[in-house]
Structure 1
Amino acid sequence: MKFSHSLQFNAVPDWTEHYVAYDQLKKLIFQIEKDKVDAVNNAIDPEKEVSSNAQNQDRFLVQLDLQLEKVFEFYSQKEAELYNKLDSLQHSMPIQDTSYEPQYPNYITPLASLDSTVNLPNSTSSIDEKTSRMSFESRMSTVSKDAHHVNYVEKLVDLRSQLISLYVSLSELDSYVELNRMAFEKILKKHDKVLDADLRAHYLRKMVCESRPFIPHTVQVLHAQIERVEQIYADAFCNGHLALATRQMKTNLRDQIVYDRNSVWKDMVSQERKTLDAHVIEGKPEKVYNIPFTSYTIRSALLNTIFACLFSVILFIILLCVDLFGNRQENYCFALLIFAAVMWATEAIPLYATSLMIPFLIIPLGIMRNADGTQMAAKAASKAVFEHMFSGTIMMLLGGFSLAAALSKYGIAKAFASHVLSRAGTRPRWVLLAIMSVAAFLCMFISNVATPVLCFSLINPILRTLPDGSPVGPCLLLGIALASCIGGMGSPIASPQNIITVQYMNPNPGWGIWFGIALPIIVISLLSCWGILLLVYKPDTAVPHLNRVKPSRDKITKTQVFIVAIFLLTIALWCAETSLEYALGDTGIIATIPLFVFFGTGILGKDDLHAFLWSVIVLAQGGLALGIAVTSSGLLEDIALHIKDGVKDLEPIAILAIFSFLILVFSTFVSHTVAALIIVPIVQQVGQSLPIPHPNLLVMGAGLACCAGMGLSVSGYPNMSAVMMEDQTGKPYLKTKDFLIVGVPTSVIVTLLIFTVGYGVMVAVGF
């Protein structure tokens, strides 16, 4: 939880205005940061710039002093009020009536019975109290006869409520001091980090720690007053049992905190809803249609889902009834293939839900065949499907997720990226190239699903200091998205489509060969994309100098060193997998190293496991199940033979070019992963059917081409993440035209490189 939310959540609602205005100070810091960048871009004289920096720091110090004075005044007022109230209360305590001493030896009897909400632990004190309650009920009639003693009991009840109220208020005052002390520490740390200053240690030592609310003596006195209330309560109502009194009073304090927090939480939710409602009003509200002949309405999104599902099901039924291949298994498998493709393409239901439906349909339809062509029994078919759904490929995907989780959780990826960006300077063109290179590099190891989100957070100091309407923001965000798509070609775990591609490559190329083929394409593609972005957005002209990204100042820990060591070991073994196949057998075995090491040592926990992208895993499993079905039914071979007849006279480079552009079009309009699930198996079978087989060449080329689709905002996870980014006013940075203008030419260039440069390297390595 951010500290601003923590401050709001833990503050006493009635005292909200008297806490440090943390959000206001943070906005001032960001405004000063923006003013500094504007001063550099406006070419102010160095002497004036130094003077401006001093004035900016004075602005912050003035506001900080005002906040400190506000805390001092409120604390002094509240302290005097509560301490005086406690003194007055102690002096006016009711005097025990000695004439009834045999019946009332102490105050625990009448008051304990009134506290029906406290559940005490099973102890001697609690047993005594229960006994006192029973005796109180038998004696209450005697007390009620005397009006004087009724009044006496009322005074005791009033005393108890006042003591509890004082205890709660004093405890809240103690929390008030601690929260404000943390607020000063946090805001000064933020100031020094954002503005490259060194104010925190001096101001805390000379100003905050010397201010009366925060000096140790004041805190000690406050704690003494809280203990004083506990002792008075114990003497009055608990027969001197201090521990029992403390438990009772803390129970009331806890109830008050829960009530306050619930109130604050409701207010925060209400404000968030108002904010979201405001954004909805600014955008286009979702259309609602009336259902004919009824009083009901239906949302357009739900209507589209229903139509897509109905279309898919009707098409599925029609294809089941049409004999296209002269073989029932092939006909049914083709119907399933088209049904899954349409469901995935339209996203009628979530992609992973469609994947879960595939194995359910494979078995009842009797699609699987034995080697002799007969229909496979349901039990054997189920076993074959499930064996393919959890393979070494899926384990490699899980291993990649564990590496990504550890690198992100312990700030290793962010620290690396921030150090690289801090050396990129302030010129927009070099910052753009640096962040694109970082995005592409990180994608190789933490996937192009998670990398864009990390990189967007890294450039936040730049985005918040840009002038309104500056083209630099869209340029940087689009650069990260496209670089992440390009970087998705970098390694077998860089993107889900690569995982699927590796499944259809025999022998497995290993990380070393994959790097050798993909890196030249990535480097040239990145430079080409960078050039297109500079031509379209002209960032240097719009903003000559950007805010410099600050490197991480956190010290390197032993845990981080250990994580990096396991990371390097895993990557090294993956690169050497081909030569170690005799001992390890499969890349999935290597993937278990980070899994059992990180989870076994507690570096990753249950929550991290839950955070894995299980939807991507299930999507890949569904694709693998569909792949074994189209292979076993003979459909894949039949389709490949038909395609082979049309391309058998073409050179492999021409065949690769045809498939690359086919996949480019397909992956532009639907998910990259879906494109790989549907087309890569066909490409592999075509490659095997050629006069001179080149299955690995065509499969890897097709897999790389799946990453080339970048022309729309829905083309791949990075683009979908980028289009959701908004500025401080809630306005999106990017529109569909931005992806069309830059993404389409970049996609074409990447595809050309795949079947030219990539083809040359793949032939050189023997594909």
Structure 2
Amino acid sequence: MKFSHSLQFNAVPDWIDHYVAYDQLKKLIFQIEKEKVEAFNNSTDPEKTSSNISQGKDKFLSQLDLQLEKVFDFYSQKETELYNSLDSLDHLLSACMPDQNLHHDTIQYPNFNTPLTNLDSTVNLPVHSINEVVVTKENRRKMSFESRMSTQTHDTHHHEYVGQLVDLRSQLISLYVSLSELDSYVELNRMAFEKILKKHDKVLDGDLKSQYLKKMVLDSRPFMPQTVEALRAQIERVERIYADAFCNGHVSLAIRQMKTHLRDQITYDRNTVWKDMVNQERKTLDAHVKEKDAPVMKKIPFTSFKIRADLFNDLIAFLFSITVFIILLNVDCFGDRQENYCFALLIFAACMWATEAIPLYATSLMIPFLIVPLGILRNADGTQMAAKAASKAVFQSMFSGTIMMLLGGFSLAAALSKYGIAKAFASHVLSRAGTRPRWVLLAIMSVATFLCMWISNVATPVLCFSLINPILRTLPDDSPVGPCLLLGIALASCIGGMASPISSPQNIITIQYMNPDPGWGIWFGVALPISIISVVCCWGALLLVYKPDKHVPHLNKIKPTRDKITGAQVFVMVVTILTIALWCAESTIEEHIGDTGIIAAIPLFVFFGTKILGKDDLNAFLWSVVVLAQGGMSLGNAVTSSGLLEDIALKIKDGVQDLAPIAILAIFCFLILVFSTFVSHTVAALIIVPIVQQVGQNLPIPHPNLLVMGAGLACSAGMGLPVSGYPNMSAVMMEDPTGKPYLKTKDFLVVGIPISIIVTLLIFTLGYGIMAGVGY
């Protein structure tokens, strides 16, 4: 929880205006930061810039002094008020028990209706019965509060006395709660000053905390050790008074009873504040969001019913896919029942994935259910496989070393993110990039590409967006630098999706169809040069289109994280490096480990076994991606087993066999580029890569691995639209402080499409040369 929320959540609601205005001070810091950057960009006089910085510091100090004075005044007022109340209550309780006068037939009850300053007045009342229990000062401690309340008497004044005693008990508990809240008030404000000074020093590169906190805050009366000790002594005094009066002298019992009331009060306050915080958060968010229009309704043809437009579109897509599926089941396209049914299933899955009539992973879960009843799988002799054997084959195809490697990659990503290693690395790199926009852009794009090699391209853009927030909040209004940086991160993350075998699901699917497995060494040898050149070209295109140096000469500098390296971080790095090293050496140790999936088990059992990762981290894995990949693998197995894949590949081979391998690769790369621009990169790999593999295998000179790897890399090249991959979708959702989106579809079209084409050209030129060089 952010400290601003924690402060509001733990504050006493009635005192909320008397706490340190933490959010106001934080906004002032960011405003000073923005003015500092603007002054640096607009002024050529260093002395004037220094003067502006000094004025900002003075403004902050002035506001800090006002907050300190506010806390001092309120504390002094409440301290006097509560201490006086405690003295009065103590005096009153010392006289609240009646005395037995041995020389008169009377009991003297204190007059509780008199003011607290006049406690000597008593009323003489006759004793009506010898059976009445007379309470004396001597036996006051020997009787519990409940016993005194239950004393049987017909004396109306005694009943008044008991009722007033209950009121005094309530006042004492209320005083205990107030003193405890005052103690919490002091601690929360001390933390607020400490946090805001730390924020000031971090954002503005100052050294104010050590000076102001020691000389001003801790020397102010509310925060002095002797003041805090005196306050806690008064709380202990209340506990003793309560124990003597109502708990037979047992202090521990008194504390337990009063803390029960304190907890109840805190629970009530927090529930109230929590509701207020939620409402306020909603108002804040709604301030930047347009009012949602009523959902568009569409009438179902030939009926009087209406449904939401989005649901109607999904229903139409689903019915279209079902219709195509039924038609193809009854059309003889290949002269073989298994191939016809498999082709119908392939087209049906492609339509469902492309239209997203239902979630992608739900379609994947439907595929195994259809494969077995349709009787698509064949035995080695060409006969139809029995249902039991077919179901076993389907489930075997859904879990393999490739899926295990995907899970191993998820565990590495989770550990690197959870322990701040990825963020620490990124912030240190960016802190050395300087303030020129062109170098900051290149640095953040390089960081995004590198991080995508190890953590998902879903998490990487979000991390990078948060890292450049200090830059975004100090930019002038409508500056093109913000869109330039965000688009650079998104496109670099897409490019980073091809850089390592675990950087994206499409790479995992690609490796599944390569025999032998290329290993990390060959993959790096092919993918890294393409990625590096692509990032440089993308950087140049962004500089050409947005001209960031012209609009903002200098950006706010990113500060590196100053947290100390922990043992857990060292452990995570050792396991990560060991796992990657073994993956790179997989070809040399294949006879001992058998498959890369076995190596992927290392981070899984080490991280979860040592509790570096927990159950929540396991639940946070992208299981939808795993299920999507498994569905694709089961479909790939069905297409292969039925003979459909070979039949399609032979027909395509007849049209391309006279072409050079580089021309065949170019055709498939551009086909996948178009497909992955409009549809998910992973879906493009699921549908097209198996066909490419069979075409390459049936060429006069087989080149299956060359075509498959090239096609797999091309899946990451589609980045010309906001819907082209997770990074683009994350970037297009980013908004400035006024709620205006930084990026529009035009930005992706202008930069994304040319870069997509350049990346594709690099794959079937430079990539082809490297793959041919390694024997593919």
TM-score normalized with structure 2 length = 0.92
Task: Flag the 1:515–1:545 CA change in 2: closer, same or farther, 3 A.
Answer: same
Larger deviation, residues 507-516 vs 317-326? 317-326
For 1:36 and 1:645, the matched residues in 2 are separated by 67
| Structure 2 residue 357 is the aligned partner of structure 1 residue 315 | no
Matched, 1:694 2:695: no
Task: Select which of 712, 722, 734 maps to 2:731.
Answer: 722
Once residues 605 and 378 of structure 1 are traced to their aligned partners in structure 2, the CA distance between those partners, rounded to angstroms, is 39
2:380 aligns with 371
Residue aligning to 1:128: none
How much has 1:314 moved relative to structure 2?
2.3
The alignment partner of 1:74 has SS state of helix
- What is the correspondence of 1:116-515 to structure 2 with a 5 Å cutoff? 142-143=152-153, 145-281=154-290, 286-289=295-298, 298-515=307-524
What is the CA distance between 1:562 and its match in structure 2? 1.9
How much does 1:663 deviate? 0.3
Check the 8 A contact 2:673/2:714 in 1, yes or no.
Answer: yes
Q: Distance in 2 between matches of 1:606 and 1:619?
A: 22
Question: Which residue identity is paired with 1:96?
Answer: M
Question: 1:123 maps to what in 2?
Answer: none
Correspondence for 1:129: none
Are the equivalent residues in 1 in contact too, given 2:96–2:165 (CA < 8 A)? no
Residue 763 of structure 1 pairs with residue 772 of structure 2: yes
- Give 3-state SS (helix, strand or coil) of 2:290's partner: helix
1:532 aligns with 2:541: yes
Map of 1:95 onto structure 2: 96
- Whether the 8 Å contact between 1:108 and 1:238 is mirrored in structure 2 is no
The answer to whether 1:605 aligns with 2:614 is yes
Counterpart of 2:96 in structure 1: which amino acid?
Answer: I
- In the alignment, what sits opposite 1:3? 3
- Which residue in 2 is equivalent to 1:18? 18
Q: Alpha-carbon deviation of 1:755?
A: 0.3
8 Å contact kept, 2:98–2:135: no
DSSP-derived class of the 1:707 partner: helix
Pair 1:159–1:715, CA change in 2 (3 A): same
Deviation of 1:374 (Å): 2.0
What secondary structure sits across from 1:363 in the alignment? helix
Which piece of structure 1 moves more, 640-649 or 23-32?
640-649
**Take 1:621 and 1:171, find their aligned partners in 2: how far apart are those partners?**
58
Equivalent-residue separation in structure 1 for 2:714 and 2:406 (angstroms): 20
- For 2:129, the equivalent position in structure 1 comes to none
Q: Distance in 1 between matches of 2:335 and 2:133?
A: 105
Higher mean C-alpha deviation, range 608-617 or range 543-552: 608-617
Which residue matches 1:664?
673
Q: Which residue of 1 aligns with 2:755?
A: 746
Counterpart mapping for 1:108-119 below 5 A: 112=146
Q: Using a 3 Å threshold, how does the CA distance of structure 1 residues 276 and 198 change in structure 2: closer, same or farther?
A: closer
SS at match of 2:252: helix
Query: Partner of 2:72 in structure 1?
Result: 72
Q: What's the secondary structure of 2:307's corresponding residue?
A: strand
Amino acid at match of 2:62: V
The CA distance in 1 between the partners of 2:329 and 2:161, in whole Å, is 89
Q: Distance in 2 between matches of 1:291 and 1:327?
A: 39
- Displacement after TM superposition at 1:315 (Å): 2.1
Alpha-carbon distance change, 766 to 287 in structure 1, aligned in 2, over 3 angstroms: same
Structure 2 Cα separation of the partners of residues 107 and 240 of structure 1: 7
User: Does structure 2 conserve the Cα–Cα contact (< 8 Å) formed by 1:110 and 1:153?
Assistant: no
2:637 maps to what in 1?
628
Kindly indicate whether the alpha-carbon contact (under 8 Å) linking 1:472 and 1:542 is maintained by their aligned counterparts in 2.
yes
Evaluate the alpha carbon distance shift between residue 294 and residue 176 of structure 1 in structure 2; reply closer, same or farther with a 3 A threshold.
farther
Aligned structure 1 segments of 4 or more residues deviating by more than 6 angstroms: 102-105, 107-110, 291-296
| Displacement of 1:348 | 1.7
Distance 1:8 1:481, change over 3 A: same
Q: Which has the larger radius of gyration?
A: 2
Q: Deviations over 1:566-620 (max 9, x none)?
A: 1111111111111110111111111111112222222222222222112111211
**Structure 1 residue 463 displacement after superposition:** 0.4
Amino acid at match of 2:489: I
In structure 2, the residue matched to 1:40 is 40
CA distance in 1, matches of 2:696, 2:142: 90
One-letter amino acid of the counterpart of residue 760, structure 1: G
Alpha carbons of structure 1 residues 287 and 107: separation in structure 2 relative to 1, 3 Å = farther
Structure 1 equivalent of residue 569 of structure 2: 560
Residue type at the aligned position of 1:95: C
5+ unaligned residues in a row in structure 2: which ranges? 101-131
1:44: Cα distance to partner?
3.4
Deviates more, 1:695-704 or 1:335-344: 335-344
Q: 1 CA distance for matches of 2:337 and 2:234? A: 87
Deviation of 1:272 after TM superposition, in Å, equals 2.7
- Of all paired residues, the percent bearing the same amino acid is 79
Note if 1:569 corresponds to 2:578: yes
Which stretch shows the higher mean deviation, 547-556 or 19-28? Answer: 547-556
Aligned length: 742
Separation of aligned partners in 2, 1:249 and 1:390: 59
Is the 1:108–1:237 Cα contact (8 Å) retained in structure 2? no
Structure 1 residues 575-584 or 91-100, which shifts more? 91-100
- Cα distance in 2 for partners of 1:213, 1:602 equals 43
Q: Tell me the SS of whatever aligns to 1:298.
A: strand
Q: Match for residue 115 of structure 1?
A: none
Shift of 1:322: 2.3
The separation in 2 between residues aligned to 1:322 and 1:106, in whole angstroms, is 100
**In 2, distance between residues paired with 1:517 and 1:574?**
16
**How far is the alpha carbon of 1:287 from its aligned partner?**
2.5
Task: Give the Cα–Cα distance (whole angstroms) in 2 for the partners of residues 38 and 172 of structure 1.
Answer: 43
Instruction: Tell me, in whole angstroms, the C-alpha distance in 1 between the residues paired with 2:314 and 2:280.
Output: 32
Aligned mates of 1:708, 1:41 — CA distance in 2 = 37
- Which of 344-353 and 195-204 deviates more? 344-353
The CA deviation string for residues 403-432 of structure 1, in whole angstroms up to 9 with x for no partner, is 111111111111111111111111111111
**Aligned partner of residue 577 in structure 1, secondary structure:** coil
Conservation of the 8 A alpha-carbon contact between 2:43 and 2:49: no
| In 2: Cα distance, 1:364 partner to 1:254 partner | 62
Q: Supply the distance in 1 between the matched residues of 2:568 and 2:144 (Cα, whole angstroms).
A: 58
1:532 and 1:237, CA in 2 relative to 1: closer, same or farther beyond 3 A? Answer: same
SS of 1:240's partner is: coil
Q: 1:296 to 1:153 in 2, by over 3 A?
A: farther
Shift of 1:346: 1.4
Correspondences of 1:577-592 after superposition (within 5 Å): 577-592=586-601
Letter in 1 for 2:775: G
TM-score in terms of structure 1 length: 0.93
Counterpart amino acid of 1:32? I
- Counterpart CA distance in 1 for 2:284 and 2:365 is 37
* Structure whose residues are more often helix by fraction: 1
Q: Is the 8 A contact 1:710 1:743 kept in 2?
A: yes
> Given the alignment of the two structures, is residue 706 of structure 1 paired with residue 715 of structure 2, yes or no?
yes
Q: CA deviation digits over 1:648-678, x for unaligned, max 9?
A: 1111111100000000000000110111111
* One-letter amino acid matched to 2:199: K
Is 1:679 paired with 2:680?
A: no
Cα deviation digits, residues 250-292 of structure 1 (max 9, x gap): 1211111111111111112222333444444267664344668
